[in-house]
């Protein structure tokens, strides 16, 4: 099989200074991509600043013969998102790949979570994703090529204790990815979601002693493929956890149709409504939303 390189491609990686973001940056850089390593060097809670992490990754990429530049802007503001993307265009003339990986961790029980911690988390995860996608997407469409990878989480899909803010932001990025996939379809721009798990500093405070190997190196190849021109999918979600790579997707049960419903009818039919032996799956692209509606409409027409 041919080696999948990124020669001539320009990649922006948010949160690229540490953890799995660093693994993405170094892998793409080692395969020919010119990389913008975005990382303001904040602590896990989003406070502070340190130019060291981004600079260290840039130095590592350059020492290995690659090309990279650091960017210290925060994704949390529209101006920051625009500046991150502009750094790529100013330094390398284009942007082909956007990987939104930046994140913060602000844990607390749902009943005690402050509004401030909710907003700070959404600013980085969800609004941060929009800020960089909004800046990069028109450029990609105009160029006729782009690969976007947004980072969700199993904590969003399945929930997790002490993480309402994190879970909400990650699930919101799935909606953003779906829209970018739809609007980029036919313009050479794909957008997909990675649902990664690796033992990085975000696992601080967790007991990982019984975990199998969960290095960032087990996540980065999946993200690199989603960022490559050989990527043949869009509007999809992929899990990368402890060496397992899988596709995740939304599904519905076939459901039950009645021309009229009462509360008692719902009660009687609930077991059939919930039966998932024959799941129904609608692909985001090209027409998941209308296909979902047409499925329900067809059941109504059969009566």
DSSP code string of 259-282 = SS--HHHHHHHHHHHH--SS-B--
Token pair, residue 229, equals 């021109």
Nearest by Cα to 211 from 241, 182, 190, 232? 241
Say yes or no to pLDDT of 211 above 90: no
Backbone conformation region of residue 276, classed left if phi is above 0, alpha if psi is from -120 to 50, else beta:
alpha
- In this predicted structure, what is the pLDDT of residue 303? 62
- Active-site residue, 257 included: no
The mean pLDDT of 154-182, rounded to a whole number, is: 97
106, burial (CB in 10 Å: exposed 0-12, middle 13-18, buried 19+) = buried
**113-160, pLDDT tens digit by residue?**
999 999 999 999 999 999 999 999 999 999 999 999 999 999 999 999
Rounded Cα distance between 121 and 115, Å, is 10
On whether the CB atoms of residues 88 and 132 are closer than 8 A, the answer is: no
Q: Annotated catalytic residue: which of 24, 166, 249, 257?
A: 166
On whether the CB atoms of residues 282 and 288 are closer than 8 A, the answer is: yes
Q: Where in the chain is the domain with CATH 3.40.50.720?
A: 10-248
Assign 70 to helix, strand or coil: strand
Token pair, residue 249, equals 């997707």
Domain 10-248 superfamily per CATH: NAD(P)-binding Rossmann-like Domain (3.40.50.720)
**68-119, pLDDT tens digit by residue?**
999 999 999 999 999 999 999 999 999 999 999 999 999 999 999 999 999 9
Handedness of CA 289, 290, 292, 297 (dihedral sign): positive
Against a cut of 0.75, is the pTM above it? yes
Counting residues of the chain whose pLDDT is more than 90, the rounded percentage is 91
Q: Which carries the bigger pLDDT value, residue 45 or residue 108?
A: 108
- In this predicted structure, what is the pLDDT of residue 58? 98
- DSSP class per residue in 134-145: HHHHHHHHHHT-
Token pair, residue 98, equals 């956007």
């Amino acid at each position: 099989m041919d080696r999948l390189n990124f020669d001539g491609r320009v990649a922006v990686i948010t949160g690229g200074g540490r953890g799995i973001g660093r693994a993405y940056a170094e892998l793409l850089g080692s395969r020919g991509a010119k990389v913008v390593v975005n990382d303001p060097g904040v602590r896990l809670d989003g406070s502070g600043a340190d130019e060291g992490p981004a600079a260290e990754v840039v130095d590592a990429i350059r020492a290995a013969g690659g090309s990279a530049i650091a960017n210290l802007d925060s994704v949390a503001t529209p101006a920051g998102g625009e500046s991150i993307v502009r750094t790529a265009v100013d330094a390398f003339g284009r942007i082909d790949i956007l990987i939104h990986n930046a994140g913060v961790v602000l844990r607390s029980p749902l009943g005690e979570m402050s509004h401030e911690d909710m907003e700070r988390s959404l600013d980085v995860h969800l609004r941060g994703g929009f800020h960089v996608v909004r800046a990069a997407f028109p450029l990609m469409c105009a160029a006729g090529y782009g690969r976007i990878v947004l980072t969700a989480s199993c904590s969003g899909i399945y929930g997790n204790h002490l993480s309402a803010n994190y879970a909400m932001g990650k699930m919101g990025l799935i909606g953003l990815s779906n829209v970018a996939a739809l609007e980029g379809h036919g313009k050479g721009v794909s957008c997909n979601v990675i649902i990664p798990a690796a033992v990085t500093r975000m696992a601080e405070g967790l007991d990982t002693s019984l975990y199998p190997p969960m290095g960032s190196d087990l996540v980065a190849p999946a993200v690199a493929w989603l960022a490559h021109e050989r990527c043949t999918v869009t509007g999809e979600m992929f899990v990368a956890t402890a060496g397992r790579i899988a596709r995740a997707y939304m599904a519905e049960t076939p459901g039950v149709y009645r021309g009229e419903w009462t509360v008692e009818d719902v009660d009687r039919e609930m077991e059939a409504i919930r039966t998932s032996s024959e799941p129904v799956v609608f692909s985001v692209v090209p027409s998941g939303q209308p296909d979902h509606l047409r499925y329900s409409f067809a059941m109504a027409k059969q009566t």
